[in-house]
Amino acid sequence: MSAFSALLAWPRELADRAGLALWTSDAVAAAVGGVASEPFAVSGVAYDSREVHEGDLFFALTGEQADGHAFLDQAFSRGAAAAVVDRPIDMPHVLVKDTLSALELLASAARGRVDAAIVGVTGSAGKTGVKEALYAALDRGSRGRAHRSVKSYNNHVGVPLSLARMPARTAFGVFEMGMNHPGELAYLTRIVRPHVAIVTTIAPAHIGFFTGEEQIADAKGEIFEGLEAIDGLAGERGGVAIIPADNPHYERLRAKAARHAGMIVSFGRAAHADVRVLDTVAAPGGGTLVTADMGDRRICYTVSQPGDHWVLNSLAVMAAVRAVGGDLGAAGLALAEMEGLAGRGARHIVSAPAGDGSGEALLIDESYNANPASMRATIAQLGITPARRRVAVLGAMRELGEDEARYHAELSAPLFAAEVDRVVLVGDEMAALADALGKSPALALGKRIDVAHVANASEALAMLRRGGIAGGDAILVKGSNSVGLGAIVRALTSKEG
């Protein structure tokens, strides 16, 4: 066939025949069972008027705190092309009985119209990082035909929204799913209907809502209930379950997965892991060169993000890429080039006086979330980060239940093991750790950790600005998002204040 003939034969794939608009008024109305006021086409979907972009479809959701209909003017002023509403308005719209139900219906329609491999990601820690890394790997291998949930849109509203934003041309979809109560993942996974479901790890996150880690494992295992078979990859019973081989709850997760999955793939350092670390070597810039065994082959790649937790995360990514028939080589390149995520490991160089005279300090932004497992992992990484002085700004860990004080106090051991020089503790819950550090033995040569305990992020920032940062320092900022430590990062990187 000549080049001209090939051009005339375009499109060559069914997905290329899909319209360029994300949704048309007719498609939205048909999907949600509503009535369109007039023809329109949209390029995006939003429910927060502050995040509306030009051409978006705005869902006026009615919640306990606010009614989205009160923000219609703001949404249209920001460029919304139309809205989904439960009462008539003078702007382009689709009229429905219930806007949240309509969003769920549009999500189901988006899921049903794609010929794509879908991956769901959950876990007590690391799910956003794995989601982003997997998206980068699949997007690179498919030349831009991957889609994922943005930020941490992983709840009963965020997941349907992320699905509704998925273009018809998508080849790979990656969706993060979170929960803090039993039954939530069972609902979300039946909307997403993943072909591959990943559980990153099980740890005492949100344990205040559960009777113990076993119940957390059971709740995370609900993600397997929505698994669907993907042609040629997992047989007739269902899709692929990817689980952490090193976790104490491995057998519990495996038993749950076995009831729904056609294939179970484990990852980790354990001898029985299907995707197993063989060797790691520190790479320039703080990353790791990983050699892994995938059963019938060995692969070698570089992970740009520092820390052993990222080594294990990368195994889950590689297992998922292979499960959906993706390009492992492209995945390796994506992992090598991946930058730190805001609030989840992003590294910044900030101005700092005195110290080693370099005029710079390293700021590690882990401000978005925290639980005992992720705290230990990031503190350990701080401990192997070259620095004149190591400073940890740690915010309270929330939703830990009746053992809250113990979980906070137990962070004293990793702080001493990491040889942290100074700790700024933020929030009332950190009183237990402040007390534990006061009772802990001195470091070598009689040196003790300099400990300060403050009420909020503003006080912590003021303390850091009063000579708390010097040239050559490495400063870790980590805590539950509700503590607001992100404000410290924004201020110190001159993005705010």
**Distance from C-alpha of 132 to C-alpha of 299, rounded to nearest angstrom:** 21
Contacts 24+ apart (CB under 8 A), 206-209: 206/179, 206/180, 206/371, 206/399, 207/399, 207/400, 207/401, 207/403, 208/399, 208/400, 208/401, 208/402, 208/404, 209/180, 209/181, 209/399, 209/401
**Rounded to 5°, angle at Cα 59 from 58 and 63:** 135
Burial of 361 (0-12, 13-18, 19+ CB in 10 A): buried
Residue ranges per structural domain of the chain: 3-100, 114-337, 346-492
End-to-end CA distance of the chain: 62
**Predicted pLDDT at 66:** 87
Fold matches, 114-337 and 346-492: no
**Which of 77, 49, 72, 165 shows the shortest CA–CA distance to 114?**
165
Helix (H, G, I), strand (E, B) or coil at 244: strand
Question: What are 138's two structure tokens?
Answer: 């699949």
| The predicted structure's pLDDT at residue 3 | 53
**What's the pLDDT score for residue 16?**
53
pLDDT the model gives residue 496: 47
- C-alpha–C-alpha distance, residues 496 and 477, integer Å: 16
What's the pLDDT at 10? 46
Q: What is the DSSP letter of 345?
A: B
How big is the CA angle at 210 (ends 204 and 215), to the nearest 5 degrees? 80
- Please give the backbone phi and psi of residue 273, each rounded to the nearest 5 degrees, phi first: -65, 135
For position 443, what pLDDT does the model report? 55
What is the DSSP-derived secondary structure letter of residue 128? H
Give residue 311's region: left, alpha or beta (phi > 0; psi -120 to 50). alpha
pTM of this prediction exceeds 0.85: no
Residue 398 forms beta bridges with which residues?
A: none
CATH topology of domain 114-337: UDP-N-acetylmuramoyl-L-alanine:D-glutamate ligase (3.40.1190)
Residue 292's SS3 state is strand
One-character DSSP codes across 358-409: TSEEEEEEE-S---HHHHHHHHHHHHTS--SEEEEEEEPPPS-GGGHHHHHH
Half-sphere exposure of residue 12, counting CA atoms within 13 Å on the CB side?
4
- Greatest Cα-to-Cα distance within the chain, rounded to the nearest angstrom: 80
Say what the pLDDT of residue 170 is.
Answer: 96
Question: Measuring CA to CA, how many Å separate 71 from each of 11, 68, 79, 155?
Answer: 41, 5, 13, 22
pLDDT of residue 418: 93
Instruction: Give the C-alpha separation, 197 to 189, whole Å.
Output: 9
The SS3 of residue 471 is coil
Burial status of residue 15 (CB atoms within 10 A of its CB: 0-12, 13-18, 19 or more): middle
Q: Would you state the pLDDT for residue 9?
A: 55
Task: Supply the DSSP string of 402-470, one letter for each residue.
Answer: GGHHHHHHTTHHHHHHTT-SEEEEESGGGHHHHHHHHHSPP-GGG---EEEEESSHHHHHHHHHTTT--
CB 313 within 8 A of CB 130: yes
Give CA–CA dist 399/375, Å, rounded: 15
371 closest CA partner among 399, 329, 412? 399
- Under 8 Å between Cβ of 476 and 379: yes
The residue among 295, 259, 263, 251 whose CA lies nearest residue 276 is 295
CATH superfamily assigned to domain 3-100: MurE/MurF, N-terminal domain (3.40.1390.10)
- 277: phi then psi, degrees, rounded to nearest 5: -70, 130
Pick the CATH number of 346-492 from 3.90.79.10, 3.90.190.20, 3.40.50.720, 3.40.50.1980: 3.90.190.20
Residue 277 bridge partners (DSSP): 292
Own/partner contacts of 466-470, CB < 8 Å, gap of 24 or more, are 468/391, 468/422, 468/424, 469/350, 469/352, 469/361, 469/391, 470/352, 470/353, 470/354, 470/355, 470/356, 470/361, 470/388, 470/389
Beta bridge partners of 119: 174, 196
The pLDDT profile of the chain, 497 residues, written as one tens digit per residue, is 555 554 445 455 545 555 579 999 999 999 999 999 999 999 999 999 999 999 999 999 998 788 999 999 999 999 999 999 999 999 999 999 999 999 999 999 999 999 999 999 999 888 999 999 999 999 999 989 999 998 778 889 999 999 999 999 999 999 999 887 888 999 999 999 999 999 999 987 666 666 678 888 999 999 999 999 977 554 455 799 999 999 999 999 999 999 999 999 999 999 999 999 999 998 887 899 999 999 999 999 999 998 898 999 999 999 999 999 999 999 999 999 998 777 778 889 999 998 898 999 999 999 988 888 889 989 998 998 999 999 999 999 988 888 899 999 999 999 999 999 999 999 999 999 999 998 766 554 456 889 999 999 999 999 998 877 999 999 999 998 889 999 999 999 975 44
Residue type, 330: A
* Residue corresponding to tokens 């992020």: 457
